[in-house]
Amino acid sequence: MTEPQHNSLDLGAVRRRLARQSGPTYWRSLEELAQTPAFLDVLKGEFPAFAAAAATALDRRRLLQLMAASMALGGLTGCQKEVDPRKLSPYVEQPPGIVPGRARYYATATSLDGFGYGVLLRHEMGRPLKVEGNPDHPASLGGTSAIGQASILGLYDPYRAQSLTQNGQLAGGEDLRTMLVESGSALAARRGDGLRLLTGALTSPSLAGQIGSLQKAFPQLRWHQWEALNRDTERDGARLAFGRAVDIVCDFTRAEVVLGIESDALATAPGHLRYARDFATRRRADEAKAGMSRVYAIESTPTLLGAKADHRVIMTPVEIRAALRFIAGALHAGPPDWAKAQVPRADHLASLVADLATHRGRALLHAGREQPAEVHALCHAINHALGAFGQTLRAIEPVAAMPTGNAASLAALVADMQAGKVDTLLILGVNAAYTAPAELDWAGALQQVPQSIYLGEYADETAAQCRWHIPASHEYERWSDIRAHDATVTIQQPQVRPLYGGRSAHEILAMLLGTTQPDDYALLRSRWQGVSGAANFERFWIDSLRSGVVANSAAPSIAVAPRADYADAFPPLATGSSALTLLFRPDIGLWDGRYAENGWLQEMARPFTRLTWDNAAAIAPATAARLGLAQSDMARLTVEGRQLQAPVWILPGQAENCVTLHLGYGRRRAGPVGTDIGANAYALRSAGAPWSAGGLTLAKTGTGYAFASEQHDALIEGDDLVREATLAAYLHDPQSLKRKQDDASLYPGYAYDGIAWAMSINLNSCIGCQACVVACQAENNIPVVGKKEVGRGRVMHWLRIDRYYKGDIDAPGIVFQPVPCMQCENAPCEVVCPVQATVHDAEGLNVMVYNRCVGTRFCSNNCPYKVRRFNFFDYTGDDARPRESWNPDVTVRARGVMEKCTYCVQRTRKAMIEADKENRGVADGEVQTACQQACPTQAITFGNKSDPQSAVARRKASVLDYSLLDELNTRPRTTYAMAIRNPNPKIETS
Amino acid sequence: MVATTETALSEPVIGAEQDYTSVSEHLSDLVLVQPTPLWWYAGMAGATALFLWLIVAAGYLFYYGVGVWGVNIPVAWGWALANYVWWIGIASGGTFISSLFYIVGADWRNGVNRFAESLTLFAAAAAGLMPIFHLGRQGLFYWLFPYPNVMHIWPQFRSPLLWDFFALLAYILTSIVFWYIGLIPDCATLRDRATTRGAQIFYGILALGWRGSARHWRNYKVVYLVLAGFMAPMVVSVHSIVGLDFAAGLAAGWHSTQWPPYFFIGALYSGWASTLVLMIPIRRLYRLERIVTERHIEVISKLMLATGLLLTYCYALEAFQPYYKGDAAEIGAFRFSLVGPQGSAYWIKTACNVLLPQLLWFPAVRRHKPILFLLALGIVIGMWFERFSFVVASLAHDYIPSEFFTFHATIWDEGILYGSIGLVLAGFFLFIRFLPVVSIFELREVIRHKERR
């Protein structure tokens, strides 16, 4: 910039200019006054816009006029050219059927593993807000899983993909349609040569039908399947045993002796909710009509079934195979010389065999998906030998469409991709870039594919690698259908229009088939019109939608018999070595990693480790001692040259020399919640050893790691928080189990002239699945606080499931204890609050008045159960959930206030208001708390204690009823039913 | 320093050569005439810097919430409560000296009461801040006050926190009044001796028109005696109620009747120690050896030793009771306080509060000011660890093992503690600069008594 020329000032001119001015004139410098060119240059350089504005000779009036006009016309941008002919109607008159504050429920199904179970979604003012199990659905019976409960958060997740992209750039819906329809016609011309379809496990009859049409239109199409947590071993086991693939449907209500071989029957197996319910009905000593079952478990790493077992035998994978051969041999289900082989824990197994043999037709073996095909084949053979088929379980045709071998299918696809045989790859919701076996060069292979189209809910690892990413709709946003474990079909009806413009697989396939305006609804209806065979299709349709179940769609049993030579192909048993084995296991929250973006599931404590926001290399205490590893040490895991760093967690009840690593963590592109959480076990997982990899080395890196566990001390100290007894003792003298409670007091108690809400939790039934915890979070607007805050002891869950070990640290008994607020009669919290923010109400609840709370936190200090939670920060405000997804019946809590379980007071009040309106009392069972409703095993009973006929009063009258810390005389409203174990008297319990 | 083989208790309360004039001149000149000493500027700068830290820490706290501290569930009370109990304990020394020893007519108190009371005032102010800082919603602290309101809610009178609120409020208010009333005749002296107009007006206003008439003196004596009679039980009650904050709670280890006396004894102990910590350097720096004599130091040291022995008994009882009761949770909490992550706090408190004061049995230690200073400082620190250990251990290790957790302080916890020290020191520095550090007229009384004898 040039220096202004000071000497060029013509003062005379300046004076003349000033003389011409009228009114007050302000000037900043002589240069300005003189309007010298040098000054104008400076001005122009400094404020370029000003020069242009100054050139337009705008006076003040004109400026104000223009400003006013801009303001007035600004709103016009919101106007549309043509008037929308569709009329909106104001909400002055209530639309029929919609009452503000009254919930409506719509049935649909939620899926895991391709299998669905029926759910009812609660809608408030048109918004789906809460998932409940569908009591009419055979795979749910009203129960839900943690993942199912959390699915509603997935629906509202603002980080779900919202935009269609082509090569990373935004693309329009028209582009997609053109691309798909054009590719479709081009492919049709060459009979689909080069077109590949990759899906996960799917049971949807209509989607399978659509793929069938696709295969007809493109005969060269090849359909591949990759489900990371596939059930290939089960299928292969059935092939070994019966020569054909079958699915097994168990009936735990008829099983008197259950043997779980690292069974996932209560946790993740298709139908697990139903199994859990049936299992629990046979485990309630005081209620089971047909007698209590006896449960054995043989496993390498703790499972939910194992924790409930009366005898839990810890074995390495090799020992499990040997043990099963022993059992098969002893029960004449295999070569008799198997029974003579050396097996570990032989005496234990002999007693087990005797027990099984005496319960022919009433025994049941179930093996988890992680067990090798051989174990499944042995299970089938033993079950058959025990006469279980037709009694405690039945075989049905495989439910999943195209039950292929997943690993082989994906390997074939990758090989073809690398060979350049694939020009169009359509991926329907399979995040293969994350889950593919480590030895496959998926990313490299995908580069060879000119046209890769990915339909996925998130902009994840696979979306980043594909040419096209189509945001998928959530399963609550689309029309579809799905089968349950017993093939029962649910028509999935959308609960809401796609929030983020997602598309369904049906749409994509239809477009590929040339339909420019696909209509899932019409497609689904026309399909079911064809297959339902109903005389009155409308009736059938409405009934199916309303009940959430297509009547009589369960698969019939088929007869199977084991092949005589099923054991011939068994690989020989390796001799025992002290080499480490790595066990890959599904995560009960993140599953294969697809729920990594779900904060509720990330923050849910895992049943055994009680870890949140992390997975860990879980090892047995003895192995840790041998390897010199301590809790939270960072370790380097090496398998076949592949390396991974993961922190060590010492897990009592784990088999020696076995390291369990849960899958689903270590996502690279999950979203802001789930990215880089935990260690990615897929980095070590190969197609050949999907569940257990030998030859593991575990080396200390020397660094430590900070876990965020919800529980820090596991061994029971002091008093008996969890009371247990044996069935024999219970049957011998039930009264001996009753603990006398002395509740003498100088002060009069509260008088209740109406309802006295109370809860009873049956420790026999609780399987530790965490569904109640997530249900509580969903119902009560409990915020997610994140790993750092959990690590600082500030988790907000109102309900937690404590896990305790007892006995031998290497083979401990494991017990779960759900702990909500005890709603004490003599509540220690109430007396210490200086501002009366927590008070006793007329129904005996300790209500928390958030508005009144000033946050002294004395109530929490004084709560011996430590069930109160404090908003140390503005957790609710910091939660990324959209506002419309919060439950409108429950206040959200501000920073600095205490909160806790209210027995779902919003539900009890609603029921009481309804009852009042109808001038009646609240019926027993009319109100269910969120935890109670979610519980697959009905461990929680809730109701009016004052009514002696109520279920809760009856449970409290049981001799098994006890209250936690009764010596403190808090007189809790929440009590527990003692756990009863049914050990085999022939087996010495350690 | 006077070298003598006699015990210091036989020493005079005031130097033999002191008369009315010398006392008045010496003490008022410190305020009115002498230039502000360099050490005062240095000290005041340090204290103000610490105080600024408090402002920053409190601002951060108000903006982000108590989550910035290390508190959690189960340890919902952390440093703020430990600080509170610590400061209120430190405050007790002054009240005890000026009220109780006034009532029993111990004339040695006149040399140190002003001093100790001023410490009370600022320590009580720091203590009063802590429970407010500690609230989840600090702005609503006044809801503890039973005022008529549109919510039609009274506070909950069963809560020990409410008793504590009343006790603390009453204690702070009466402490201010007691301290100020004791200042009035001295302010009049300063007013009369002031050489500048500003000082005359300043002290004139503070003197409330005191002319030293017989009626003034009579009224003064009555009011002061009544207040002293009021304060003496109040200092007992305020610490007992602090003890009740815990004793009325249910947490394992808190639920015990021994805490009211325990807290009272602990409070006195830290009161003596903190009085010594401030008195020893000021006495030296202001050349007050002839006014605050060996006798004063001796008395306080011995009181400190006696209180320390009482506290040792309390500690023994604290260890004995869980085992005597046999309550597993209580035993667990006690063992946790010994060997848990905060175990060092227990051993520091034992070393500082039990072992260290045993040195006071030796007259040489009591005479040796630097050692005595360090010893008293050790006790003040030890008392903080006692409070911390007490608050945290029982919460961290309560009844339900699944909820056992621990506590880790953050820099914002530290900011509040160190900042509050700054607040007290800054107040104290202002006091020693602008008001007579020793009560002038009460010293005159001592001289008068001496002359009469």
pLDDT digits (tens, 9 = 90+) for A366-425: 999 999 999 999 999 999 999 999 999 999 999 988 767 888 899 999 999 999 899 999
* Subunit contact B156:A858, Cβ cutoff 8 A: no
A542, two tokens: 């409405």
Instruction: Tell me which chain B residue has its CA closest to the CA of residue A716.
Output: B401
Rounded to a whole number of angstroms, the distance between the first and last alpha carbons of chain A is 92
pLDDT tier at A570, thresholds 50, 70, 90? confident
- In DSSP terms, A583 is beta-bridged to A660, A692
Mean local confidence (pLDDT), A826-842: 91
Task: Report the amino acid identity of residue B369.
Answer: K
Reference A252, options A392, A137, A145; nearest CA is A392
Report the C-alpha gap between A256 and A254 in whole angstroms: 6
Residue B55: partners with Cβ closer than 8 Å, 6 or more residues away? B419
pLDDT at B1: 38
β-strand A898-899 against A869-870: which pairing, if any? antiparallel
How many Å is the maximal CA-CA distance in chain B?
72
Sequence-separated (6 or more) residues with CB below 8 Å from residue A662: A584, A585, A586, A587, A590, A606, A615, A616, A681
The pTM assigned to this predicted structure is: 0.87
CB proximity list for A284: less than 8 A, separation 6 or greater? A292, A762, A764, A765, A977
> Is B6's pLDDT higher than 50?
no
Count Cβ atoms within 10 A of the Cβ of residue A700 and give its class: 0-12 exposed, 13-18 middle, 19 or more buried: middle
* E strand or H helix at A364: strand A363-367
Average model confidence (pLDDT) across chain A: 87
Q: Which residues of B touch A789 (CB under 8 A)?
A: 67
Instruction: Please give the mean pLDDT across all residues of chain B.
Output: 87
Query: In B, which residues are within 8 Å of A974 by CB distance?
Result: none
Residue A468 CB partners (closer than 8 Å, separation 6+): A164, A165, A166, A171, A176, A179, A451, A452, A453, A454
* Tokens linked to B110: 């006149």
Cα–Cα distance between A222 and A918 in angstroms, integer?
61
- Window 389-448 of B: residues touching A by CB (8 A cutoff) are 395, 398-406, 408
pLDDT tens digits, one per residue of B303-341: 899 999 999 999 999 999 999 988 888 888 888 889 888
Tokens of A413: 């696809």
Is A834's CB within 8 Å of B159's CB? yes
- A753 has pLDDT over 90: no
3-state secondary structure of B59: helix
Going by C-alpha positions, the residue among B385, B258, B386, B255 that lies closest to residue B333 is B255
Calpha distance B409→A378 (Å, rounded): 57
Residues 6+ apart with CB under 8 A from B109: B97, B98, B101, B102
- φ, ψ of residue B417 to 5 degrees: the values are -65, -55
The closest alpha carbon to A223, from A373, A418, A430, belongs to: A430
Spell out which residues of chain B touch residue A831, defining contact as CB-CB under 8 Å. Answer: 156, 158-159, 248
pLDDT at B4: 41
Average pLDDT over residues B141-148: 89
Query: Taking the CB of residue A87, how many other CB atoms lie within 10 A of it?
Result: 5
For residue B97, what are the contacts with CB-CB under 8 A and spacing of at least 6? B109, B112, B113, B116, B117, B271, B275
Q: How confident is the model at residue A4 (pLDDT cuts 50, 70, 90)?
A: very low
Mutate to test the interface with B, among A832, A846, A966 (most CBs of B within 10 A): A832
What average pLDDT does range B236-243 have in this prediction?
Answer: 90
pLDDT for residue A77 = 61
Tokens of A855: 């946050």
* More confident of the two residues A404 and A548: A548
Determine the pLDDT at residue A832: 92
The span from the CA of A658 to the CA of A301, in Å, is: 8
Which residues are paired to A790 by β-bridges?
none
Which chain B residue shows the shortest CA-CA distance from A793? Answer: B72
**For position A436, what pLDDT does the model report?**
92
Please tell me if residue B77 touches chain A, with a CB cutoff of 8 Å: yes
Closest Cα in chain A to B143: A835
What are φ and ψ of residue B299, in 5° steps?
-60, -45
Strands A642-650 and A617-619 turn out to be: parallel
Query: What is the reported pLDDT for A850?
Result: 93
Nearest CA in chain A to B134: A856
Please judge whether B77 and A861 are an interchain contact, meaning their C-beta atoms are less than 8 angstroms apart: yes
Does A802 reach chain B within 8 Å, measured CB to CB? yes
- Looking at the partner chain, which of B76, B135, B328 has a beta carbon nearest the beta carbon of A861? B76
Neighboring chain A residues of B158 at a CB cutoff of 8 Å: 831-832
Q: Is B143 on the interface with A (CB under 8 A)?
A: yes
Decide if A774 contacts A149 (C-beta within 8 A). yes
CA separation (Å) from A831 to A828, A835, A837, A846, A857?
6, 10, 10, 11, 12
Element (H, E) at A832: helix A828-832
| Side chain identity, residue A303 | T
Give dist(CA B327, CA B320) in Å, integer: 12
Interface of A with B in 719-758 (CB under 8 A): 719, 721
| Interface check A402 vs B, CB under 8 A | no
| Smallest CA–CA distance from B141 into chain A, residue | A854
Rounded Cα distance between A19 and A22, Å, is 8
Whether pLDDT at A626 is above 60: yes
Question: What is the number of residues in chain A?
Answer: 990
**Strand blocks (E) in A598-743:** 611-612, 617-619, 633-639, 642-650, 658-662, 692-704, 708-709, 724-726
How much is the pLDDT for B414? 92
Distance CA A635, CA A644 (A): 8
Window from A15-24, A94-103, A297-306, A328-337 with minimum mean pLDDT: A15-24
Quick one: pLDDT at residue B426? 94
Q: What is the mean pLDDT of residues A964-983?
A: 89
Q: Say if residue A797's pLDDT is above 50.
A: yes
B423 CB neighbour count, 10 Å cutoff: 22
pLDDT of residue B5: 40
What number of C-beta contacts closer than 8 Å exist between A and B? 173
Which of A:891-950 have CB within 8 Å of B? 894-898
CA A488, A492, A497 angle in degrees (round to 5)? 175
> Sign of dihedral through CA atoms A789, A794, A800, A803?
positive
Residue B73 and residue A856: Cβ atoms within 8 Å? no
Residue B2: pLDDT band (50, 70, 90) is very low
Look at residue A833 in the predicted model and tell me its pLDDT: 92
pLDDT at B83 over 60: yes
Nearest CA in chain A to B249: A862
| Residue B438 to chain A, least CA–CA distance (Å) | 40
Q: Do A865 and B165 touch (CB under 8 A)?
A: no
Stretch among A211-215, A596-600, A873-877, B3-7 having the lowest mean pLDDT: B3-7
Residue of B nearest to A717 (CA): B401
- Structure confidence at residue A28 (pLDDT): 67
**A262-311 tens-digit pLDDT:** 999 999 999 999 999 999 998 887 776 668 899 999 999 999 999 999 99
Average pLDDT over residues A805-831: 90
**pLDDT value for B8:** 54
Collapsing DSSP to helix, strand or coil, A868 comes out as: coil
Q: Which residues of A touch B246 (CB under 8 A)?
A: none
Tokens of B175: 């402490």
Position A345 scores a pLDDT of 86
